Amino acid sequence: MTSEEQKLEQKPVFKVSSFQYQNANKKKCVWKGLKQIITSEKALPWPDHCVHYGSINAPPSFKPPEKFSDLSGLPAPYTDPQTRLRFANKDEYATMIDLPMDITAGYLTLRGATSIVG
Amino acid sequence: MKNYKLIYIVIFLCLKMELMEFTDTKCTPDIIHTYSSSLKNNSVPLVIDNGSYICRVGWSVNESPLLQFRNLIAKPRKERLKKDTIEVPQTPQLQIGNDIVNIETMRFQLKTQFDRNVVTHFEAQEHLFDYTFTHLGIDTENCVNHPLILTEAFLNPNSSRQLMSELLFECYGIPGVSYGVDSLFSYHYAQPKPLENALIVSLGYQTCHVIPIINNQTDFENTRRLNIGGWSIITFLHRILQLKYPAHATAITLSRVEELLHTICAIAPDYKEELMRWTNNDYYEQNIKKIQLPYTSASNALTLEQQKERKRELARRLTEINARKREERLAEDQEKLRQLLEVQEIIDFGAEKDEVEQILTEFELKNVQELQKAIGNLNIRIEKTKQKILAASNIEEIEEPPVKQAKYSKMVFESDSALHSFLDNAKKMRQEIVTRKLVRKQRKQDIFKRRTAAGQERMRIISQLARKEKGNDDFGLRDEDWDIYKTISKDGGDSDSETENEKLMELEEILRIHDPSQFEEGVNLGEMHQLHVGIEMYRAPELIFKPYMSGSSEAGLSEVIGYVLSLCKPEDQLKLASNVIVTGGLANLPGLRERLLKDLISIRPFKSEVNICIMENCNLTSWYGAREFTRKGDYSKYLLTKNVYEECGHEYFKEHLASNVYYPTPKEITIDVDT
């Protein structure tokens, strides 16, 4: 019980001492994440004119994404079929083929190009 | 002469300037401010800009926020209970905000109350409010007797606001609260004369918003939010640099990258053009930013002299120990000799036979002959030891432990030409091995690619092996037949053998000894710990214009601006485009205005008016705006008091110019069934 006492002592004076987060069954509170909040908000029957957090997301891009080299960031006309990395010139290619797997995988995840289909 | 000196100094300075270093600024813990009676008695409003990056707190009478801290909590791990100690391990103190002196050491224990830009974790929020009010020095019991102006996310979900109100009213007993949106506060109150129509572009830490304001009304319906912000840029840059310098992955920390974003990052007015410029070598050399990582020079730094000194010291100690041992042994032997001689004397004086035998058995001797033998042995030993001591004392001064020879000692050559030819030979041999290795590697790569000669040859052999010809299959009759499998194996026949590697090492060692200049130069420890940041300083911030660079499918900032404009009526579009206001922490990035202007002009009708204005001091404008809000006479009208809170429901709040819009949460669908 000592820890409980300590907690009470530490509580700043300006706080209402009785206040405590708890559920009905006195379990520790689990906070909903933003995604959960959005989905539960969406499920409600809002009037038509209402806008809420989940409805103002930016639209998907309508422009085709440009291709940039994973290593240098330069415009990349080529893709290595083995590693799927993009590269801009032969010097980059030379360094690229020496890269270990974890680095090439790192570049791909950074670009979000890890799906097998893409 | 003087001129030369000056030039040298200038060059030296230039070189120095080029090399940057991380400052690694550490937080200084906040002081506890005094809570004066004028604050206490007049219930002065308290302004809190609760941003997902930094929280800014100050009284409405303050010129600038009193507290500015990262909205972070660090919970240090509990120390394990040790077996030996009886005392209970103390739970370490929670570190909040600026208490966290070095963020990097706590990186994995960090927590924030935010999920994206919305407060969701209210236990953490409670800790941060505790921190805030404590450091303001508030000492009233069971209440914080000040109305609060608090910023929240654009279109903050009702549930989040409800929990916030509950926390404020029920835990801190505040008299009233007014919620507002940070960027709207900045627009409406932090500027001298805000226009009636504006397009606010707010670039935050977690999100970016494009908010149209028409006739002083926030157009909630046409606002769009980009889920990308300063944080995304920082993590992106962090990862790029880590991948570029895998050896320094741990030295490249998030806080250091954040520092880079604040110091050298910029937005390219024309990204493509900027990239093309970097392909030029001269431009690269001139504009590359070199950053020195901290490093400690390795043990190599000990000079040869120091190493020698250390060895000498060691040798001296050894000889001392040896000398002491010898002397001890000498004394022991002499003592024994004395005793034995006494026994001899007793015998010589003609003692009784019984007595003699008794004494002899005491010394573990059988008869008189053995006694004499033992005496002789001892004499010889003593003589030897004495000689050794003498010899050691003579040598001690001269003795120098031979310098530990390198594995391959330096050979002596009759002439320079002999040395040269020897070296050339060694070099040639080394080169041969290196090329052999390279060729092998190339082959290994080629073999797995189509359309290479090696690959095709391999495929041909495989198909030939697979072909079944009846009758004349004599494969395996000769041992050489099996070699074909070697040629098509992964290693392409032969791999880097151990002996070859050893030979290479040996040759390199020899070359290093005889021709150190070749290997020593260029290996500078400092240079090895440098980061070269070039295109990356444009590439990372470009992320807000090209979210697809990190795999997001969202449109970029310029595209979203264009999209938001397209949602509005044509006459409004004109008004909005002529007054674009940029705010938020990222608005400080150099080049942002030019870039937005360029992108906007390209999507607006020919010769239509486009104006972009970046707010001054955009880090603090929302706090200033919120403060100005309290200074307007009628602000108390917009306070949500405890009574209203209890009456209208916990999610209710009062709308005002810079606030969100209130939609009461509808009841869940209940299907009434008539009975």
Comparison of pLDDT for B403 and B636, the residue scoring more:
B636
Subunit contact B143:A16, Cβ cutoff 8 A = yes
Q: How far does A102 lie from chain B, in Å, by closest CA?
A: 9
Count of helix runs (H) and strand runs (E) in chain A: 4, 2
What mean pLDDT do residues B57-65 have?
A: 93
Instruction: Inform me whether the pLDDT recorded for B10 exceeds 50.
Output: no
Each residue's pLDDT tens digit, B476-509: 778 887 888 877 776 655 666 778 888 888 888 8
- Most A CBs within 10 A among B121, B129, B171, B271, hence the mutation to make, goes to B171
Could you read off the pLDDT of B33-52 as tens digits, one per residue? 999 888 888 889 999 999 99
Q: Which of residues 15-54 of A touch B (CB under 8 A)?
A: 15-17, 19, 21, 29, 31-34, 37-38, 40-41, 44-47, 49-53
**More confident site: B354 or B287:** B287
- Find the CB nearest B223 among A49, A56, A66: A56
Q: Tokens in use for B29?
A: 């813990």
Instruction: Answer whether B553 sits within 8 Å of A61, measured CB to CB.
Output: yes
Contact B339, B332 (CB under 8 A): no
Residue B643 clears pLDDT 80, i.e. is over it:
yes
Q: What is the pLDDT of residues B308-349, one digit of tens each?
A: 888 889 998 998 998 899 999 999 999 988 988 888 888 888
Which amino acid is it at B168?
Answer: L
CB contacts, 8 Å: A53 with chain B = 118, 153, 155-157
User: What pLDDT shows up at residue B410?
Assistant: 62
Calpha distance B16→B166 (Å, rounded):
56
Residue B224 has pLDDT above 70, yes or no: yes
Model pLDDT for residues A16-33, shown as the tens digit of each residue? 877 776 555 555 677 889
Interface confidence: ipTM more than 0.95: no
Q: Give the pLDDT mean for A37-43.
A: 90
User: Which comes out higher in pLDDT, residue B240 or B1?
Assistant: B240
Rounded to the nearest integer, the mean pLDDT of chain B is 84
CA atoms within 13 A on the CB side of B555: 20
Number of CB pairs, chain A paired with chain B, less than 8 A apart: 161
Chain A interface disruption, residue of B444, B548, B599, B661, most A CBs within 10 A: B548
Calculate how close chain A gets to B602, using CA atoms only, in Å: 14
Q: Is the pLDDT of residue B11 over 50?
A: no
What is the pairing mode between strands B176-181 and B640-641? antiparallel
Checking if the pLDDT of B602 tops 70, the result is yes
| CA B617 – CA B597 distance, rounded (Å) | 20
Query: Do the beta carbons of residue B557 and residue B205 sit within 8 Å?
Result: no
Cβ under 8 Å to A: B residues 219-248: 220-221, 223-227, 236, 239-240, 242-244, 246
CA distance A87 to chain B (A): 13
pTM of the predicted structure, to 2 decimals: 0.74
∠B416-B422-B427 over CA atoms, to 5°? 120
Beta carbons of B228 and B547 less than 8 angstroms apart: yes
Q: What is the pLDDT of residue B454?
A: 76
pLDDT at residue B518 above 80? no
- pLDDT tens digits, B411-430: 666 677 888 888 888 888 88
CB contact under 8 A, B555 and A73: no
Q: What band does B22 get if pLDDT is binned at 50, 70 and 90?
A: confident
Q: What would the pLDDT profile of B562-587 be if each residue is shown by its tens digit?
A: 999 999 999 999 999 999 999 999 99
Contact between A44 and B666 using a beta-carbon 8 Å cutoff: yes
The answer to whether the CB atoms of B143 and A50 lie below 8 A apart is: no
What's the distance, CA B320 to chain centroid? 50
Nearest CA-CA partner of B69 in B152, B143, B128: B128
